[in-house]
Amino acid sequence: MAFQLKRGSTGEELVLHDENTLGTGGEATVYSLPSHPSLAAKVYLKPSPERAGKLVAMTAHPPAETSPAANPDIAWPTDLLWTTGRKSQIAGFLMPRVEGMAPIIDIYSPHTRITARPWFDYQLLLKTCVNLAEAVETAHRGGYVIGDLNHSNVLVADDARVTLIDTDSFQVRDQSGQAVFLCPVYTPEFTAPELHAQGLIKTERSLAQDSFGLAVLTFLMLMGGVHPFAGVHLGKGEVPPLFSRIASGDFPYSRNRRPMISPAPVALPFETLAPPVQDLFRRCFEIGHDDPSQRPTPVEWRDTLLSAEQELAVCETNTQHRFSPHQTACPWCIRTARLGGRDPFPSSEAVLNGLHKRPIPVRRTLPHDRVPGWRVQERQMRRARVRTPVNIKTWQWAALVSLLWVVLPGMWALSSFVVSGLLAATALLAAIFYGMTAAMVPVAAGMVGWRSVVSARRGGGWIAASVLGLAVGSGLIGLTSVLAFY
């Protein structure tokens, strides 16, 4: 299927084909353009005036350092796309096409990074964080708030270059200052604590809240993919979700607070980070919890991380191991030993031999023939055939049985031989009650168990009596009817 849109700046008509789809989301689809290989088109499923106004403001005032070159630091809208019908409207926009890049989650996730990019060492991780901070600062200098900085809208190249995507979700203020187009989305794990109690879709966000998301991504990059608020819950009751820990400020490495979370067992020691980097994290997650203005800015992150990168020491055993020189021993050699030989930054020789793809060895501490406790419990329940008892009181069953055995047959007999006018009314009443009982008894018997009904155990006696009452009462009414009419 193909359709046409018109390019706003030149009036050129562009034909978009389904086979050129690069990606599809809940609100828009992204297409490649064979006639313009360096560009991609994002087309909304439901265009709206608000989106159109936001795009007009964005294309008119791009961040100063952003250009339509290949893989820029921000994939900024470069041109508008209009529909070609009678009522022409803005349906989407053109932007630089980003190629050869992976989501940042594939970089900070150790398993994915080692498998797909085994050459990506700690120095490249630091360089990625430097470039990410620079990209965020570029957006801020242009007067824009990212709003929802998270793992899905940051792409990373093989050489650690970074591109921010989904820029149409940024918070945009037009140059007149009269209109603000808010960020319509959020990701709880990357959202600043002061925002968790607010309706985020209608809340104007600040640069300090972008700084929080930047710090979370930087922590994930440098701490082996472990979230800064992940860890072991020290309190009682249910473990609070991640966003709740963020809201309460439970940063496991706080100095002046008593968090209810201790560091995760799989996490790297916090001391692996250079001391100035540690201080920035504490400023953001501890001091910045109560005072967002104290959070490090993207410029501070860029300068501190750049300095940490330039001061890295190289391990004598594996040149791929680079670490902060304040440590007396290589932390990556120590971690390799803890992981049973799985190196977080494998050597070139290990990569050539395919050793970086071997699974992490797991020491078996339980016998091979051991059956888990949950499996034993499941087997016991099956054998016992535990069933839920019927939640009906004894007097209610007694009333039902009496109704079936005595009341309805008696009323039927009275109406048949004494007051003939009651015959129709009692017939309807009998049909209703006997119909309800006929439907209820099998269900109740199934809940108690047919064996319990037959053996007249708990609950089964009254059900059996109800069945008998149903049969005997129906027979008595039938006999009475024969005698009355014949």
3-class SS letters over the chain? CEEEEEECCCCCEEEEEHHHEEEECCCEEEEECCCCCCEEEEEECCCCHHHHHHHHHHHHCCCCCCCCCCCCCECCCCEEEECCCCCCCEEEEEEECCCCCEECHHHHCHHHHHHHCCCCCHHHHHHHHHHHHHHHHHHHHCCCECCCCCCCCEEECCCCCEEECCHHHCEEECCCCCCEECCCCCCHHHCCHHHCCCCHHHCCCCHHHHHHHHHHHHHHHHCCCCCCCCEEECCCCCCCCHHHHHHHCCCCCCCCCCCCEEECCCCCCHHHCCHHHHHHHHHHHHHHHHCHHHCCCHHHHHHHHHHHHHCCEECCCCCCCEECCCCCCCHHHHHHHHCCCCCCCCCHHHHHCCHHHCCCCCCCCCCCCCCCHHHHHHHHHHHHCCCCCCCCCHHHHHHHHHHHHHHHHHHHHHHHHCCHHHHHHHHHHHHHHHHHHHHHHHHHHHHHCHHHHHHCCCCHHHHHHHHHHHHHHHHHHHHHHHHHHC
* Residues in a beta bridge with 145: 171
Residue scoring higher pLDDT (474 or 91): 91
**Of the candidates 267, 293, 99, which has an alpha carbon nearest to the alpha carbon of residue 192?**
293
Q: What percent of the chain has pLDDT over 70?
A: 71
User: CA angle 47-207-59, nearest 5°?
Assistant: 35
Using CA atoms, how far apart are residues 50 and 48, in angstroms rounded to an integer? 5
Q: Letter for the amino acid at 22?
A: L
Using CA atoms, how far apart are residues 36 and 96, in angstroms rounded to an integer? 10
Instruction: Say how many C-beta atoms besides its own lie within 10 A of residue 261's C-beta.
Output: 22
pLDDT of residue 255: 87
**Of the candidates 394, 377, 374, which has an alpha carbon nearest to the alpha carbon of residue 386?**
377
pTM exceeds 0.85: no
* Residues in a beta bridge with 180: 173
- Arithmetic mean of pLDDT over the chain: 83
Task: Name the token pair of 265.
Answer: 């067992």
CA torsion 170-174-179-180 (nearest 10°) is: 20
Mean pLDDT over residues 209-219, rounded?
A: 97
User: CA angle 325-277-254, nearest 5°?
Assistant: 120
pLDDT of residue 175: 75
pLDDT of residue 67: 46
**Of the candidates 339, 340, 357, 349, which has an alpha carbon nearest to the alpha carbon of residue 317?**
349
Instruction: Name the pLDDT band for 389 (thresholds 50, 70, 90).
Output: very low
Contact 343, 336 (CB under 8 A): yes
Contact 298, 214 (CB under 8 A): yes
pLDDT of residue 202: 78
pLDDT digit string (tens) for 403-446? 666 676 676 666 666 665 666 666 666 667 666 666 666 666 66
pLDDT of residue 373: 59
pLDDT of residue 87: 84
Using CA atoms, how far apart are residues 64 and 473, in angstroms rounded to an integer? 91
Highest mean pLDDT among 127-141, 181-195, 472-486: 127-141
pLDDT digit string (tens) for 71-105? 689 999 999 999 987 788 999 999 999 988 999 99
Instruction: Name the pLDDT band for 387 (thresholds 50, 70, 90).
Output: very low
Using CA atoms, how far apart are residues 118 and 265, in angstroms rounded to an integer? 24
**Of the candidates 55, 79, 75, which has an alpha carbon nearest to the alpha carbon of residue 66?**
75
pLDDT digit string (tens) for 249-305? 999 999 887 778 888 888 899 999 999 999 999 999 999 999 999 999 999 999 999
pLDDT digit string (tens) for 222-251? 999 999 999 998 888 788 889 899 999 999
pLDDT digit string (tens) for 113-156? 998 899 999 999 999 999 999 999 999 999 999 999 999 999 99
Using CA atoms, how far apart are residues 249 and 188, in angstroms rounded to an integer? 14
- Asked whether the predicted pLDDT for residue 187 surpasses 50, the reply is yes
- Asked whether the predicted pLDDT for residue 44 surpasses 70, the reply is yes
Instruction: Name the pLDDT band for 390 (thresholds 50, 70, 90).
Output: very low
Using CA atoms, how far apart are residues 15 and 33, in angstroms rounded to an integer? 8
Contact 149, 214 (CB under 8 A): yes
Sort residue 185 into left (φ over 0), alpha (ψ -120 to 50) or beta: beta
Residue scoring higher pLDDT (64 or 370): 64
**Of the candidates 459, 456, 430, which has an alpha carbon nearest to the alpha carbon of residue 443?**
459
Mean pLDDT over residues 31-37, rounded?
A: 92
Q: Which residue has the tokens 């009355």?
A: 484
Using CA atoms, how far apart are residues 224 and 221, in angstroms rounded to an integer? 6
Q: What percent of the chain has pLDDT over 90?
A: 52
Residues, the chain, total? 486
Using CA atoms, how far apart are residues 25 and 45, in angstroms rounded to an integer? 9
- Interacting residues of 64 by C-beta distance below 8 A, sequence separation 6+: 138, 141, 142
Contact 262, 245 (CB under 8 A): no
